Amino acid sequence: MRVLCLDVGEKRIGFSISDTTCTIAQALKVYNRYSLKKDLEEIKNIINEYNITQVVVGLPKNLNGTLGKKGQEIMDFASEIERYTSIPTALWDERFSTNEAHRMFSMAGVKHKKRKLSIDMIASQIILQGYLDACKKT
């Protein structure tokens, strides 16, 4: 069993996957978005390649926990993924994941310009690790 996590942005999607024990999140790739159809095809290809049994999608919330326009768009996108792939999809709070990814890059001494290509993938890994840790507690 493996879990796929997506950090969905306007231009890119960061992908990460769990190990087979669903304990450790691993960064996978960054995908440049083209259209809903191509996005869904890419997600389905990864699901098939890695034998994914669940998809987690980072849900952007406002600081007070409410959902804005972007949150609703992500919820709709997650529904499309589930419909297109027939794989269960869960939403997970992604607040501060990008900030945490930037912090990790800063600690590693990676310049801001070089972060841009990987930031969504690392944010996805952070989201997935939070999800996996929460699931282990229940």
pLDDT of residue 136: 84
φ/ψ of residue 39, rounded to 5: -60, -50
pLDDT of residue 42: 98
| pLDDT less than 50: residues of the chain | none
Superfamily of domain 2-137: YqgF/RNase H-like domain (3.30.420.140)
pLDDT of residue 64: 78
Distance CA 106, CA 83 (A): 39
pTM assigned to the model = 0.86
pLDDT of residue 138: 62
C-alpha 50 chain-centroid distance? 15
Query: 74 near 59, Cβ under 8 Å?
Result: yes
